[in-house]
Amino acid sequence: MAKKHIYIIGGGLAGLSAAVSLSSYPDTQIILYEASPSCGGRARSFYDSKLDRLIDNGNHLILSGNNAVVDYLNKLDSIKTLSSSGYPLYPFYDHDANQYWDVLLSKGRFPWWLFNKNHRVPEFRFPELLALWNLIKANHEQTVADCLVNGELTRRLLKPFAISVLNTSCEVGSAVLLGSVVKQSLLKGGKACIPYFPKEGLSESFVKPALSLIQLQGGKVHTTSRLTELHVKDNLIDYFIINDEKIELAPEDQVIFAVNAYMARQILTPILPDIRLPDEFESILNLHYKIDSFFKLKGSVQKARFIGVIGGISEWIFVKNGVISVTVSAANRFTGSDQENLSRLIWNEIGKALQPFLLSSLPETVPPYRLLWEKRASFAATIEQNKRRPSCYTTCQNLFLAGDWTATGLPSTIEGAIRSGYKAAQAIL
């Protein structure tokens, strides 16, 4: 009996998770196409010859409560490739006040940490917790700023958390999307908020094991294979064109379209004129600095391997093997900035933020670095853009959508991308 073909266009985590979910079915043949030379999208690692280091394309904070991520890595038998301090520990540095503190969440649901001045945000006041209630009860017309309460909990925790999660400013960011993340993290207690990182790199944890599993189960993966056309006939995709090659579909074949939102607009709008898709985007800036491989830290930053920065350009500083990486979310505001000046300012912030935790000194001059600027890293997580996110279903009976820009109920995160791949796979089944 001939197998039906499931064509997956896009090799990011949405496409890979859909392929992993479907590849074990004996009556299906998975064929995945990726336009770039490697799969993984924004969640991949690569060797950088300038730094002579393996670096991640971007920095991603994986939480123990990310159920889809955990399920995906368990399917790949790669959950063991992650490392963690084992604690819901979040060190912070306030650039303006020159002040350090640790947020150490209670593992259970009851927030005992709020009653311990050594485990909470300095100068926290209990009435500020109204902001969390506002977020989890928010409606689709409210921004994050509408829900926040003035105070140090907002300035030193909730605002940085919101910007890094939504990749969008609080003034226009969707409160519903942030509330969804709060429900699945902070409200579940510290047990759901333990941060994890790949021991080696994102590709080594999320991508390479997926490709091995897909191919082991008979699937095919084609990189440097760019889609230029999807053709519709009688509400079905009857063929598509990849690298000038026409791929014709049999009646039982199906397509999962899992490219980024910008590319989705270019391809889908001509064939599905009524479809609504996100059309505003935000960028993310990542700077990777080369450091000595034997660089050592102490204290809470040594345990956590990262520190949050308040009041600076940097938002999160990650210390990895031979690399210090910095993430700047909602980076459209820095468009046009001089890169050398930006790298110098951020390196100075790193020195100040890490100073009390250093066992090995950092060079005063800026070391070799790699700046990676994802111009359309995510859809802008605003009220209007959230309303433009489509479901996995389309008016074409054999075309399904996947991507962190689809209606997952979450912002653009690894968790959202994997959930979208699972949803598309389930829709096909």
Q: pLDDT grade, residue 429 (50/70/90)? A: confident
CB-based burial of residue 280 (10 Å sphere; 0-12 exposed, 13-18 middle, 19+ buried)? middle
The CATH class, in words, for 4-37+223-279+384-428 is alpha beta
3-state secondary structure of 386: helix
Give the mean pLDDT of 34-44. 95
Distance separating alpha carbons of residues 328 and 164, to the nearest angstrom: 8
What pLDDT does residue 153 have? Answer: 96
Tens-place pLDDT, residues 201-234: 999 999 999 999 999 999 999 999 999 999 999 9
Tens-place pLDDT, residues 346-390: 999 999 999 999 998 899 999 999 999 999 999 999 999 999 999
Sign of CA dihedral 21, 22, 25, 30: negative
The candidate with the shortest Cα–Cα distance to 309, out of 125, 61, 98, 56, is 98
List helix spans (H) across 9-147.
13-22, 67-75, 130-136, 144-147
Mean pLDDT (the chain, rounded): 95
Strand partners for 242:
227, 245
Q: Which pTM was predicted? A: 0.95
Residue 402 has pLDDT above 80, yes or no: yes
What pLDDT does residue 58 have? Answer: 87
Residue span(s) of the chain under CATH 3.50.50.60 come to 4-37+223-279+384-428
Residue span(s) of the chain under CATH 3.90.660.10 come to 46-85+195-201+281-379
CATH number of 46-85+195-201+281-379: 3.90.660.10
What pLDDT does residue 1 have? Answer: 53
